[in-house]
A and B are shown apart, each in its own frame.
Chain A
Amino acid sequence: MSKEKAPRSEPAQQPDDNVNKRDKSALATDLDHHDHPHDHSHLDDTALRVRSLQTLLTEKGYIEEAALHALIDTYENKIGPRNGARVIARAWSDPEYKNWLLEDATAAIASLSFQGRQGEHMVVVENTDNTHNLVVCTLCSCYPWPVLGLPPAWYKSAPYRSKAVIDPAGVLTDFGVSLSPDKQIVVWDSTAEVRYLVMPERPENSAHLSEAELSLLVTRNSMIGTGLALPVETLS
């Protein structure tokens, strides 16, 4: 059903990276992929419709434009997956912190000043040598914003939302990830206001690395479960 792809090793990007990147193979059924290169008029119509709505709501006194800028700026420049990477690197480096994180993730994450909207109730699930965890929201697009930023388009797409709970190994294949056959896959469907973050397995031969170096190996996808932490050689 899906072709094998080379293993992906994306860095934990801030959500504004490649903001306007266009996809060439958009599926009409994919909630985020509608804008084919040919539908410029549709696109411009929407841009105008949004601008017109913003003008109306400002005129009515329901919104303050500066607040919109502040909201956009927060999720473009201040909150992203580097936050989550710091949490995971701390847990890898400090067994006490790791225990706290697995017991009360909301408090342990807040101790690093990551907290708030869409991360009010956090749970961290740990990958081990026999378990791989994968997080999805089948009903909409729930995602832990304070530690990962806004979700990538694929996370919100129909293929991911539908397939993750019935065929997670197939999803991993789509991402070019293959697990050892004795590793069980556990899927977490974010049906309530509890947000899940995966603690990936610490890379082999990483005992000598500092917390800051470790955090560079923690990718966004490894904290969703569609990827693994990067190997130590990535740093050299």
Chain B
Amino acid sequence: MNGVHDMGGMECYGPVDPDQDTAYHHDWEKQVLALTLAMGATGTWNLDQSRFARESLEPSLYLSIGYYRVWLTALENLLKQHELVTADELEQGQSLGASAQLTRLLTANDVPGVLARGAPVSRPATTLARFAVGDQVRVRNIQPSTHTRLPAYLRHHTGTIHRVHAPHVYPDSHANGLGEDPQWLYNVRFCADHLWGEARSNHRYVHADCWEPYLMGTADE
């Protein structure tokens, strides 16, 4: 989705403030992180749906309410969308009806194991990788209205395959409830002066990870 979350290359936000050095500003932010992780662990939605819920917030909100309020609002929206709570229940802060049946509940005992295992997204290869290290590729000009991990600043640019990772869960499908749809993932190297017209100072390359459907061979053109 073309949205304000896709910030690469924007120049309207001013300098970085290194003094903003801590993870949290307020105690409630820790609770928001924990609630988001705990609800994510129930498996009701996946990581890509969770990201899309944040990106889908109204742009002025996304930019102004602060990082963990974005997480909080997205979590409330996901809970409503998946019918785990109603708007009235959120409003009143108490349960007004039956609970939904969840497949998993994260307990304190589970936490160390769940965090240590993580959730790898690489999948066994069932196809050959179309590209090899050193191949020239062009990023397709795709602009889905739903979730994608292709930043706008890369569209239509050519780059070089730097690394072939493995097939990884494809966010563009996964966020839409279409299953994991694993696709080969590559690290692609782009010349900074191709991306930005003229590279500033000694900026040489930008690398990004791109799934195979984002790419085409330059020989196809």
Q: Which residues of A contact B112 (CB under 8 A)?
A: 70, 74
The secondary-structure label for the interface of chain A is: loop
B89 CB–A CB distance under 8 Å = yes
Q: Which residues of B contact A63 (CB under 8 A)?
A: 35, 38-39, 105-106
A207 CB–B CB distance under 8 Å = no
A168 CB–B CB distance under 8 Å = yes
- Assuming the A-B contacts A72-B30, A187-B203, are A121 and B122 also in contact, with contact meaning beta carbons closer than 8 angstroms in the complex? yes
A69 CB to nearest chain B CB (Å): 7
Q: Which residues of A contact B16 (CB under 8 A)?
A: 154, 157, 159-160, 163, 171, 174-175, 226
Q: Which residues of A contact B206 (CB under 8 A)?
A: 165, 186-189
A212 CB–B CB distance under 8 Å = no
**Would B20 and A153 count as touching, CB distance under 8 A?**
yes
CB within 8 Å of B: which of A105-136?
115-121, 123, 131
B173 CB to nearest chain A CB (Å): 14
CB within 8 Å of B: which of A9-61?
10, 13, 15-23, 25, 27-35, 43, 46-47, 49-57, 59-61
- Chain A: interface residue count, which band? 35 or more
**Would B115 and A116 count as touching, CB distance under 8 A?**
yes
Q: How far is the CA of A156 from the CA of B5 in the complex (A)?
A: 11
**Would A60 and B99 count as touching, CB distance under 8 A?**
yes
Residue in B21, B32, B100 whose beta carbon sits within 8 Å of that of A10 in the complex = B21
**Would A33 and B20 count as touching, CB distance under 8 A?**
yes
**Would B13 and A30 count as touching, CB distance under 8 A?**
yes
Q: Which residues of B contact A51 (CB under 8 A)?
A: 28, 31, 93
**Would B165 and A121 count as touching, CB distance under 8 A?**
yes
**Would A20 and B202 count as touching, CB distance under 8 A?**
no
Identify the stretch in A84-92, A93-101, A191-199, A228-236 within 8 Å (CB) of chain B at 4 or more residues: A191-199
**Would B149 and A166 count as touching, CB distance under 8 A?**
no
A78 CB to nearest chain B CB (Å): 9
Residue in A18, A30, A56, A179 whose beta carbon sits within 8 Å of that of B17 in the complex = A30
Give the tally of cross-chain contacts (CB within 8 A). Answer: 342
CB within 8 Å of B: which of A139-182?
139-141, 146, 149-154, 156-171, 174-176, 179, 181-182
Q: How far is the CA of A66 from the CA of B165 in the complex (A)?
A: 37
Q: Which residues of B contact A194 (CB under 8 A)?
A: 165, 185, 187, 209
Residue in A20, A56, A74, A151 whose beta carbon sits within 8 Å of that of B85 in the complex = A56
A183 CB to nearest chain B CB (Å): 6
Q: Which residues of B contact A19 (CB under 8 A)?
A: 22-24, 27
**Would B209 and A191 count as touching, CB distance under 8 A?**
yes
B190 CB to nearest chain A CB (Å): 9
A210 CB–B CB distance under 8 Å = no
Q: How far is the CA of A179 from the CA of B64 in the complex (A)?
A: 34
- Assuming the A-B contacts A183-B202, A186-B207, are A18 and B22 also in contact, with contact meaning beta carbons closer than 8 angstroms in the complex? yes
Q: How far is the CA of A66 from the CA of B109 in the complex (A)?
A: 9
Q: How far is the CA of A22 from the CA of B28 in the complex (A)?
A: 15
Q: How far is the CA of A62 from the CA of B114 in the complex (A)?
A: 17
**Would A56 and B93 count as touching, CB distance under 8 A?**
yes
Name 12 A/B residue pairs within 8 A (Cβ), A-sorted.
A25-B19, A51-B93, A56-B90, A56-B95, A75-B33, A141-B67, A152-B20, A154-B18, A161-B8, A163-B16, A166-B200, A186-B206
What would 18 more interface pairs be, CB under 8 Å, given A57-B79, A59-B95?
A1-B14, A31-B67, A47-B27, A47-B28, A51-B31, A53-B76, A57-B35, A62-B99, A72-B31, A120-B120, A121-B120, A138-B7, A139-B149, A157-B20, A169-B202, A187-B205, A191-B149, A191-B151
